[in-house]
């Protein structure tokens, strides 16, 4: 069956060759393997002295670019942190109040505790506010460059204020 479909498809391509000559001329021949096509690609790029890929150093860093990277990073960090906490809760022999008392008994100073709470609140607040920003983009709003920058600065400001408020609790 597959052979029949392939033959019919090839006949259709051959009959439409004149009509779609521009598209057909750049199509990959069906008789080559992926490995052969990759070898052609790399040979051509080497001959033309092209870089392997655009490197991060050639881009001008912008607020939207850094916020996108940060959004992904906070998502990975939060999901990893929650997973480690949950795994520890399953594996460790004592209950949660025991470990909470252990942390309290270490007598960390108030500055360290405030910083720790801020460090925990910041990625949560950032990922939440930037996620809302992405949901607004999913509605098709806020794509103009000034709006992208404005919403980015709003997310940063809300994140800092919310993180300070949560750390002060």
Give the model's pLDDT for residue 59. 76
Categorize the per-residue pLDDT at 20 as very low, low, confident or very high, splitting at 50, 70 and 90.
low
Which among 43, 48, 11, 45 is positioned nearest to 30, based on CA atoms? 11
63-168 CATH, one of 3.40.50.2300, 1.20.1300.10, 2.60.120.10, 1.10.260.40: 1.20.1300.10
- Report whether pLDDT(71) > 90: yes
Categorize the per-residue pLDDT at 6 as very low, low, confident or very high, splitting at 50, 70 and 90.
low
- DSSP 8-state code for residue 61: P
Do residues 126 and 70 lie in contact, with contact meaning Cβ atoms separated by under 8 Å? yes
Categorize the per-residue pLDDT at 11 as very low, low, confident or very high, splitting at 50, 70 and 90.
low
**Could you count the other beta carbons within 10 Å of the beta carbon of residue 80?**
10
- Report whether pLDDT(12) > 70: no
Which among 138, 137, 135, 122 is positioned nearest to 74, based on CA atoms? 122
- Report whether pLDDT(139) > 70: yes
In terms of pLDDT, which residue wins out, 87 or 15? Answer: 87
pTM above 0.75, yes or no: no
In terms of pLDDT, which residue wins out, 127 or 46? Answer: 127
Categorize the per-residue pLDDT at 104 as very low, low, confident or very high, splitting at 50, 70 and 90.
confident
What's the mean per-residue pLDDT of the chain? Answer: 85
DSSP string, 2-58: HHHHHHHHHHHHHHTTTTTHHHHHTSPPTTS-HHHHHHHHHHHHHHTT--SS--GGG
Categorize the per-residue pLDDT at 49 as very low, low, confident or very high, splitting at 50, 70 and 90.
confident
Give the model's pLDDT for residue 92. 92
- Would you list the domain boundaries of the chain? 63-168
């Amino acid at each position: 069956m597959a052979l029949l479909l392939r033959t019919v498809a090839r006949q259709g391509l051959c009959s439409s060759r004149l009509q779609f000559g521009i598209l057909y001329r750049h199509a990959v021949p069906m008789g080559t393997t992926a490995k052969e096509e990759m070898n052609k690609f790399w040979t051509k790029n080497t001959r033309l002295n092209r870089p392997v890929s655009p490197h991060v150093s050639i881009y001008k860093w912008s607020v939207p670019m850094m916020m996108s990277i940060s959004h992904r990073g906070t998502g990975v960090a939060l999901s990893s942190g929650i997973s480690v906490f949950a795994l520890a809760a399953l594996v460790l022999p004592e209950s949660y109040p025991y470990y909470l008392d252990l942390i309290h008994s270490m007598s960390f100073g108030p500055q360290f505790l405030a910083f720790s709470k801020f460090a925990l609140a910041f990625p949560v607040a950032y990922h939440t506010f930037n996620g809302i920003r992405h949901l607004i983009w999913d509605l098709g709003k806020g794509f103009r460059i000034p709006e992208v920058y404005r919403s980015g600065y709003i997310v940063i400001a809300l994140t800092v204020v919310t993180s300070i408020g949560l750390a002060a609790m």
